[in-house]
Homo-oligomer: A and B are copies of this chain.
Amino acid sequence: MSTEPTPKRPRTNPTYELLYHPSIPGRGEFVRLAFEAASIPYNDVANNDKKGYSVVQAACSPKSTGDADGNPPAFAPPALRVPGAGKDGKTLLIYQTPNILMYLGPHLGLAPEDEAERLWVNQNMLTALDLNNEAHDTHHPVAVMQYYEDQKEEALKKAKDFRENRIPKYFSFFERVLKGNEESGQGKYLIGNKLTYADTTLWQVMDGLHFAFPKEIEARSKDYPLLFGTFYPNIKEEKHLKEYLASDRRLPYSMGIFRHYPELDRQ
């Protein structure tokens, strides 16, 4: 008799394809972390294949009215392709980070069975992504397609408000979510007693904020003991995530959503 543990999930998972920009973590990282946390294989198309980015660009083309599999157009990456999961067994194409995470959650074992808990996970993911978007806007408060240097004065004002008002508002909220779930989640999980895509999403935003605003985060972290003392370090130690974060699949922060401009950090 084999002593091998039975695989937790069937081997019939489709080959998920993540369509995102190459070389940066960006919003694709929320999807990557879900796959990695679940240890489910995925093809990070633009990073794994030199010609991969053309697939991403075609899927999000500003001329597209849909693809050959009957999928409607995608506004922007990240998008997800799932062979066999579309209409009549065709390839499904979906986009929008919250939509992708909501879809993947149950497939990857990162969403609770209970419907109420599932909705709570989803709302916490959405709020973590709102914080992510506000972090992005600190360096691009005026125009996403213009250079930071051309909106630096506005960025200084926006970053000040973000640090002084928005960061404490969000951190206080997530500290209270952890507190309210402490009996079940022990400060390690936002909802229930197992890792969900709300946890991986919030963790990634916190990690990016450490990179972008190191002084601000250092100064604030003591005010949120569950969030910074238990939740953040614990997620890093989750078995598969620990391996991933040490691997070269984990892309470094650079000039994406999270950017370290010292002048935007606490002075």
The chain B residue with its CB closest to the CB of A86 is: B116
Contact (Cβ within 8 A) B142 A116: no
Which chain B positions have C-beta within 8 A of A180?
A: 64-66, 72-73
The answer, among B73, B98, B141, B161, for a CB contact under 8 Å with A177, is: B73
A120 at the interface (CB under 8 A from B): yes
Contact (Cβ within 8 A) B157 A157: no
The answer, among B64, B122, B157, B176, for a CB contact under 8 Å with A143, is: B157
A193 to chain B, nearest CB (A): 14
A84 to chain B, nearest CB (A): 11
A39 at the interface (CB under 8 A from B): no
A66, A99, A143, A146 pick with most chain B CB within 10 angstroms? A99
The answer, among B65, B71, B169, for a CB contact under 8 Å with A120, is: B71
- Digitize A100-141: 1 where CB-to-B-CB distance is under 8 Å, 0 elsewhere: 001100000000001010011011101100000100010001
Contact (Cβ within 8 A) B154 A142: yes
The answer, among B64, B151, B169, for a CB contact under 8 Å with A176, is: B64
Which chain B positions have C-beta within 8 A of A24?
A: none
The chain B residue with its CB closest to the CB of A119 is: B94
The chain B residue with its CB closest to the CB of A141 is: B141
The chain B residue with its CB closest to the CB of A159 is: B142
